[in-house]
Amino acid sequence: MKRQYFGTDGVRAPYGSATMNEDFAWRLGAAAARFAKGKMRTSSKDVFIGRDTRASGPSLESALAAGIASEGFQPISLGIVPTPVVSLLTRSSAAAFGVVITASHNPASDNGIKFFGSNGIKLTDSDESQIEHLLPVSPSVLSDEDRLAQKTDALATYLELTGALLPPDSLQNWKIVLDTANGAACVSSRTVLENLGAELTLIANQPDGQNINADVGSQHPEKMSAAVKTVGARLGIAHDGDADRCILCDENGDVLDGDEILTLLALRALKQKQLEKNTLVITVQSNLGVDAAVQAAGGRVSRTDVGDRYVIERMLAEGATLGGESSGHVICSDISPTGDGLVAALKVIEVMLETGKPLSELRRGLRKFPQLTAALKVKDKKPLESLPTLPAVIKKIESELGNLGRVLVRYSGTEPKLRLLVEGPTDERVQSAMDQLTAATKADLEVV
């Protein structure tokens, strides 16, 4: 069933728009609760709600909670917490379901709502379609703050779990740069790393409701990289607004994306014979070099559509425990049922501790194919197959590249953008292909 409101990661839109306001949040909360009634895997009526640091979060939370309460559930606010905290607590407490109010890496002017089932795993496309069909026409009550209970110790379990991933005091004499994007991880990641003994240089750890992701975080690692070189840190860690992503940089300030993190972890696990099913799950967006590196080490790669929840679905289907996206979503499902930026960083540090090697050396396991990406903002998302120029150009480039490269053209599931990706044998051929794709896109669509 085609979804009208949900994208690749929940509902996301500018705050104040038709699909991200208090009325719609109430309706969505009521619809999710109605859906949960028909899918109850637990007798609990508790629903955990977390949010990031956006100014629009509290009012959306109040309205969402009122909609949930209208169907007989008990909404419980976890306050400002990373997305993986909601996932973990929902699963460990066997709550009815969990909700996070966040627009992830988007600017503060946007917000979003995404759901987790009682197992702590994001809902499927089919689940979201059913929720959309259960939306009431209008809210019967806009707000009902008295029905929203508070859970003040939401971070405690998460801090204990993540802090135990490394030996006590194992980061003594480690300098680390930490960029929390003025988002949900400002307290959690700092606390865990400092408790392990790290000396931190903090970036973007003063949220004011408007500065989340503002030229910082996983989308903008430049400040992190510069700080690593300035203070002589062993690595830098950057999250996005809700901290389910992780981008790193090595001691030289060179950035590692999700593909490099996943390859590093997969190669280490294969060497230790600890990679479940010898399988790493990634998306079609990941570099072809990941496949080559993992296969050379005796493993296999399984690819899915873009979206960390599709990665998780494939991991469950194949019995894999490691997967993720080039954007920095890294899922270690033996620890957390969803992407977790802090867990990803700690797992990489664990490899550094075990091997005694710097990150600049460990990253060499992945030799990337030449690749270019672009994200063109478009006025309308017209069906690609209906466009007069772009499909033919794609087919031409694919024919020229053969098995030496690939082309990926898709609309973003969360933004009004057309995403282009080209991989090939040389930088020159990749650039030529990207120029052709860009020109064809501008001929067919209104790029703004």
Residue 444's alpha-carbon distances to 53, 390, 439, in angstroms, are 38, 7, 9
Specify whether the CB–CB gap between 324 and 302 falls below 8 A. Answer: no
Q: Which residue has the tokens 């490099």?
A: 260
Q: Which residues contact 217 (CB under 8 A, 6 or more apart)?
A: 105, 179, 180, 181, 182, 183, 204, 238, 239, 240, 241
Instruction: Note if 104 is an active site residue.
Output: yes
DSSP symbols for 366-383: --PPPEEEEEEEBS----
DSSP symbols for 382-438: --GGG-SSHHHHHHHHHHHHGGG-EEEEEE-SSSSEEEEEEE-SSHHHHHHHHHHHH
DSSP state of 338: S
Catalytic residue among 62, 77, 87, 104: 104
Q: Which two tokens stand for residue 244?
A: 């389910």
3-state secondary structure 43-91: CCCEEEEEECCCCCHHHHHHHHHHHHHCCCCEEEEEEECCHHHHHHHHH
Distance CA 273, CA 278 (A): 8
> By C-alpha distance, which of 97, 89, 129, 92 is closest to 116?
97
Q: Is 267 helix (H, G, I), strand (E, B) or coil?
A: helix
Specify whether the CB–CB gap between 181 and 108 falls below 8 A. Answer: no
Distance CA 10, CA 420 (A): 22
DSSP state of 214: S
The residues carrying an active-site annotation are 104
